Amino acid sequence: MNSLLILPIVIPMITAALMLLAYRRAMPQRLMGLIGSVIQLIIAFVLLGLVYQNGIQAIQIGGWQAPFGITIVADILSALMLCLSGVIGVASALYSLADIDRERRVYGFYPLMQILLMGVNGAFLTGDIFNLYVWFEVMLIASFVLLVLGNERRQMEGAIKYLTLNLISSAIFLSAVGILYGSVHALNMADLAQKLPTVPQPMIITLAMLFLVAFGIKAAVFPLFFWLPDSYHTPPTTVTALFAGLLTKVGVYSMFRVFTLLFVENVDYTHGLIMIIAGFTMVIGVLGAMAQMEIRRVLAFHSVSQVGYMVMGLGLFSIASIAGGIFFVLHHSLVKSNLFLISGIVQQHAGTTELKKLGNQIARDPLLAALFLVSALSLAGLPPLSGFWAKLALVQAGFEVGGTGSYGGYIIIGVSLAVGLCTLISMTKIWNEAFWKPLPDTALPPPPPMTLARKVLMFTPVFFLTALIVALGLMPDPLLHLVNEAANQLMNKGQYIRAVLGEPHESAGS
pLDDT exceeds cutoff 50 at 505? no
Q: Mean pLDDT throughout 304-322?
A: 94
**Highest mean pLDDT pick, 66-75, 130-139, 356-365:** 130-139
Task: Give the least confident one: 52-66, 183-197, 242-256, 274-288.
Answer: 52-66
Structural domain boundaries enclosing 373: 294-474
Give the model's confidence band at 507: pLDDT under 50 very low, under 70 low, under 90 confident, else very high.
very low
Per residue in 343-395, pLDDT (tens digit) is 999 998 888 888 888 888 898 889 999 999 999 999 999 998 999 999 999 99
Kindly state the greatest CA–CA separation across the chain. Answer: 73
* One-letter-per-residue 3-state SS of 401-441: HHCCCCHHHHHHHHHHHHHHHHHHHHHHHHHHHHHHCCCCC
Distance CA 395, CA 327 (A): 13
**Residue 109 included in any domain:** no
What ranges make up the beta strands (E) of 92-214? none
- Nearest CA to 142 out of 234, 31, 216, 247 is that of 247
Residue 453 lies in a domain: yes
In the predicted model, what is the mean pLDDT of the chain?
89
169 in any annotated domain: no
Q: How much is the pTM?
A: 0.93
Distance, in Å, from the CA atom of 19 to the CA atom of 76, rounded to the nearest integer, reads 31
DSSP string, 193-214: HHHGGGS-HHHHHHHHHHHHHH
Give the whole-angstrom CA distance, residue 199 versus residue 141: 34
Q: Rounded to an integer, what distance in angstroms lies between the CA atom of residue 222 and that of residue 252?
A: 13
pLDDT of residue 404: 61
Residue 422 included in any domain: yes
Asked if residues 124 and 133 have their Cβ atoms less than 8 Å apart, the reply is: no
Does residue 219 belong to any structural domain of this protein? no
∠ CA 55-58-62 to the nearest 5 degrees?
160
Is residue 455 in a domain? Answer: yes
Average pLDDT of span 38-42 = 95
Among 13-27, 359-373, 454-468, name the one with the lowest average pLDDT: 13-27
Do the domain assignments include residue 98? no
The structural domain count of the chain equals: 1
User: Which residues contact residue 166 at a Cβ distance below 8 angstroms, ignoring those fewer than 6 apart?
Assistant: 140, 144, 217, 218, 227
Flag whether 356 is in a domain: yes
CA angle 274–276–281, rounded 5-degree value? 90
